Amino acid sequence: MVAFNQKYQRFFTLVSRLVIGGVLLVAGGLKAFVPAEAAGAVAAYKILPTQIAHIVGYALPWFEIAIGLLLIIGISVRMTSILAGAIMVLFIVAIASVWTRGILIDCGCFGGGGSIDPSKAAQVHRSYALEIARDLGLALLALYLYFFPYGFLSLDKSPPPNEEM
Amino acid sequence: MSKAAKATTGGDHFTRWLVIGMVAIVVLTGVVFSMMSSSTKANESFAALKGYTMGEAVSATINPAAGSGLTLNPGAPVTIDLWEDPQCPVCRIFETSIGAYIDTQIRTKKATVVYHVLSFLGPESVRAANAMMCAADEGHYLDYHKSLYIVQPALENSGFFSNENLIKIGETIGIKSESFSECVTKGSKLDLVKTHADSMQGYKVQGTPTVFINGKLWERKVSGFDLNEFRLAVEAG
């Protein structure tokens, strides 16, 4: 297992970077140009006071874009992976929170968002589970990048010789 | 791990701050851009109201016996009770399909219409409901009600139904009085808004829009809102 990872690590790191970076870039890009919707989508979680939720709604898509770009290009991968992992954990907590409070919303993960017709409860609960699973997967990839930040096609310089992991 | 931590803290400070700075710049410019484009969008919404001509003033009375609903044209042979939330997208569809017919019924004195303004979709519904009741005091509930649905944002609580914008909507269609803007800013009707919200349970209303014709729940046979189906139901009483 360790040997296998050692052999392909630089490739795994590249793939992880592209997957998390790509998802963040798409998710951010789809929301960044419909700011009012993004603001409303954050407000729909009813976690933050409306005013603050709106500011988060304006900022979050751009934050996702910035982190996504850094991961894809490969700058300071270890630090960006911490940030990417942190937002994934935040998303998981937010979805779990609406789920336990019985609020029915569209997560607004890739644009859209807002309340949903009560008759679709079962469907919404299933999508909550899928969203949490997806974000958990991405968080695990981010964790991998934290431990193995150096891969192919990256602007990060290779580790100094004393830093063999 | 400890070796790695040393490698990142020692000598790599410059890159770290560079990265933090870049992220901060992207986020800041993005937020400024988003706020600007969102206010342009708001102005576009107001543009949709340009040229709107208000109908004659219709006075609204409050009927405590009917959940304190705003009663327009009392005493007609048919009574229609409407339960709506200003932010509810389906109410908007109802308004586009059937709103004009209901307006005519009121203005030609053929039906009594009782509006129950609900506000369960969040703080912006509460503000909008308050403004609607303020407009009712000015005799322009119908016009204001229609205008709110014309400009209704795609998503609830996105910041559009601020008191400032609610006053501006009134001004755009021609409700320019001091009393209206004061009523909106002060939230003078918030008690009534709450009374409407609380009356929901007594009538077993669970969603919006809900329609009663002469006290009987209107149950649609077709999906969507069909004007003919509604008209026949009203005529049957």
The confidence score (pLDDT) of residue B9 equals 46
What is the tens place of the pLDDT at every residue in B10-50?
A: 456 787 888 889 899 999 999 999 888 888 888 888 999 99
> Closest Cα to residue B101, out of B49, B42, B142, B159?
B142
What is the mean pLDDT of the segment spanning B98-116? 96
pLDDT at A80: 94
Residue whose pair of structure tokens reads 């431990």 in the numeric block: A147
**pLDDT number for residue B5:** 46
Q: Confidence band (pLDDT; 50, 70, 90) for A162?
A: low
Q: Do B27 and A160 touch (CB under 8 A)?
A: no
Nearest one of B144, B179, B178 to B60, comparing CA atoms: B144
> How far separated are the first and last CA of chain B, in Å rounded?
78
What is the reported pTM? 0.76
Residues 110-129 of A with CB under 8 A from B: 113-115, 117-118
Is the separation of the CB atoms in B106 and B142 below 8 Å?
A: yes
The one-letter amino acid code at B20 reads I
ipTM (interface predicted TM): 0.82
**What part of B 45-104 touches A (C-beta under 8 Å)?**
none
Output B218 or B206, whichever has higher pLDDT.
B218
Give A136→chain B minimum CA distance, Å: 23
**What is the reported pLDDT for A2?**
84
Task: Report the gap between the CA of B11 and the closest CA in chain A (Å).
Answer: 12
Instruction: Compute CA distances B67 → A116, B35, B117, whole Å.
Output: 27, 40, 10
Whether B7 has its CB under 8 Å from any CB of chain A: the answer is yes
| Strand locations in B108-203 (E) | 111-117
- Percent above pLDDT 70 for chain A: 96
Q: Which of A33, A39, A59 sits opposite B159 (nearest CB)?
A: A39
Q: How many CB atoms lie within 10 A of CB B213?
A: 18
Helix (H) or strand (E) holding B5, with range, is helix B2-9
Of the candidates A57, A8, A65, A43, which has an alpha carbon nearest to the alpha carbon of residue B157?
A43
For residue B59, the 8-state DSSP code is: -
| Mean pLDDT on B154-173 | 92
Compute CA B47 distance to the chain's CA centroid, rounded to the nearest angstrom.
17
Is pLDDT at B144 greater than 70 in this prediction? Answer: yes
Q: Which residue has the higher pLDDT, A135 or A113?
A: A135
Mean local confidence (pLDDT), B189-210: 92
**Phi and psi at residue B44, in whole multiples of 5°?**
-60, -40
Please name the residues between 42 and 61 in chain A that touch chain B, using a CB distance below 8 Å: 43-44, 46, 50, 53-55, 57-59, 61
- Tell which B residues from 103 to 142 touch A, by Cβ distance under 8 Å: 121-124
Q: Which residues of A touch B37 (CB under 8 A)?
A: 33, 35
| Predicted local confidence at residue A86, as pLDDT | 96
pLDDT (tens digit, 9 = 90+) per residue, B80-89? 999 999 999 9
Q: How far is A20 from chain B (nearest CA, A)?
A: 16
Helix H, strand E, coil C: the string for chain A is CHHHHHHHHHHHHHHHHHHHHHHHHHHHHHHHCCHHHHHHHHHHCCCCCHHHHHHHHHHHHHHHHHHHHHHHHCCCHHHHHHHHHHHHHHHHHHHHHHHHCCCCEECCECECCEECCHHHHHHHHHHHHHHHHHHHHHHHHHHHHHHCCCCCCCCCCCCCHHHCC
What is the pLDDT at residue A161? 58
- Res B115 pLDDT > 80: yes
At residue A140, does pLDDT exceed 60?
yes
Domain ranges of chain A: 10-150
pLDDT in tens, A3-55: 888 889 999 999 999 999 999 999 999 999 888 889 989 998 999 988 899 89
Confidence at residue B29, expressed as pLDDT on a 0 to 100 scale = 94
The correct CATH number of B54-236 out of 3.40.50.620, 3.40.30.10, 3.40.50.970, 3.20.20.10 is 3.40.30.10
User: Which residue type does B122 have?
Assistant: G
pLDDT level of residue A111 (50, 70, 90 thresholds): confident
Q: Is the pLDDT of residue B7 over 80?
A: no
Quote the radius of gyration of chain B (alpha carbons, Å). Answer: 24
State yes or no: pLDDT of A165 exceeds 60.
Answer: no
Is pLDDT above 60 for B116?
yes
Confidence of residue B3 (pLDDT cuts 50, 70, 90): very low
Residues of B with CB below 8 A from A53's CB?
157
